[in-house]
Amino acid sequence: MNLDKLIKMANQIGAFFEAMPDREQAVKDIASHLRRTWDPRMRMQLLACLGRADEGKLKPVVRDALMALAESDAVP
């Protein structure tokens, strides 16, 4: 899938959750949503943009959720 489209979709999810008063919970909920509903290939493609120029297109709350997702997926 096109990375720009994935970023746009992730940012839309982030816009919904960033309205929550508890930012930490919003980050957890975004990560959980991506884990539960996105195809693993879509998640991997989005995670691959971390540390690259495309990372700047992500809402900060989405970037933080992706980092949390990457950390939790790395734990066996």
Count of the separate structural domains present in the chain: 1
55 by Cβ neighbours in 10 Å (0-12 / 13-18 / 19+) ranks as middle
Asked whether residue 15 carries a pLDDT value surpassing 90, the answer given is yes
Asked whether residue 76 carries a pLDDT value surpassing 90, the answer given is no
Q: Find the domain containing 37 and state its range.
A: 3-74
Query: Rounded mean pLDDT of 3-18?
Result: 96
Percentage of residues in the chain having pLDDT higher than 90:
88
Listed in sequence order, the residues at least 6 apart from 1 whose beta carbon sits closer than 8 Å to its beta carbon are: 41, 42, 45
Q: What is the pTM of this model?
A: 0.90
Whole-angstrom distance, CA of residue 65 vs CA of residue 47: 10
Pick from 38, 35, 42: which is nearest to 65 by CA? 35
Whole-angstrom distance, CA of residue 10 vs CA of residue 8: 6
